[in-house]
Amino acid sequence: MTKALDTATRSILITGCSSGIGYAAAHALSKRGWRVFATARAEADVKRLEEEGLEALALDLDSSDSIQAAVETVRERTGGRLTALFNNGAYGQPGAVEDLSRNVLRKQLETNLLGTHELTTLVLPMMRAQGHGRIVQNSSVLGIAALPYRGAYVCSKFALEGLTDTLRMELKGSGIHISLIEPGPITSRFRENAYRAFQAHIDTAASAHADTYQKVEARLAGSDSGGAFTLGPEAVVKKLIHALENPRPRPRYAVTVPTHLFAALKRILSTRGMDRVLLRSTKSERE
């Protein structure tokens, strides 16, 4: 039978804490008594997090040296014990699949999948040695349903889901639990960061999708406040707390209405039927 976590010694390493979900999670868990190692890539963000009272570290998921250094710092500061890891850091690379160069796709996978995987494998020995642990992967509605012009991000999240499902089975009996959180639209700087990636890596003028890209760019340049189904990062934090603190964490946590809806439709519709639903949901980008 799974035991509840020892609240006196619990600690967590979180990636992508400069803003959005990671930032909200770091502060919320700190208030709940967790020892939080909040990480960010930029030194300015690390300094800001420290000034806000968090134990902040530099961690760049694109760099093995940075990942290894952060884990070693956590190991030294905790005496080799870490209760939990929240793999939250990621970004979205918009663009039609045929416009994604090998290097651009590799860059997306380095951050969203390979860096996350490396970090996970480095903390697992600490968790195995102590006989327990929690790993939470921040996936996406795009980890269960594909949408056009988001192929790189979809690829990274589908892969993360598959890797996590495999790891969950391999960890059975170890005392280490792994969960996926699947948000839908969440208010954050995600769209702002995606717009920069789009401008940097997609040659819109030379693309067969040039007309559609005008709509895509307008969407990316717009407000990140979202629509009717968009929730704040605290909605994700609520699921995270359950995954970390409940004696029986769930394998998956859907967050928003679109995530629940697409997961249900995927179970009952044919592939062509699901395509029609998903294409209608992004119709404004193609008109």
Q: What is the pLDDT of residue 225?
A: 58
| pLDDT under 70: residue ranges of the chain | 1-8, 223-228, 284-287
Active site residue 195: no
pTM: 0.93
- Identify the pLDDT of residue 6: 52
Catalytic residue among 153, 195, 213, 253: 153
CA distance 185 to 168: 26
Alpha helices in 2-51 (DSSP H): 20-31, 43-51
> Considering all CA atoms of the chain, what is the largest pairwise distance in Å, rounded to the nearest integer?
59
131: left (phi over 0), alpha (psi -120 to 50) or beta: left
Give pLDDT, residue 189. Answer: 86
How far is the CA of 125 from the CAs of 35, 80, 89, 135, in angstroms? 19, 9, 21, 13
Give the integer Cα–Cα distance in Å for 118 and 114: 6
Per residue in 227-286, pLDDT tens?
668 899 999 999 999 999 999 999 999 999 999 999 999 999 999 999 999 999 887 555
Q: What angle do CA 287, 194, 95 make, to 5 degrees?
A: 50
Looking at residue 131, what is its pLDDT?
97
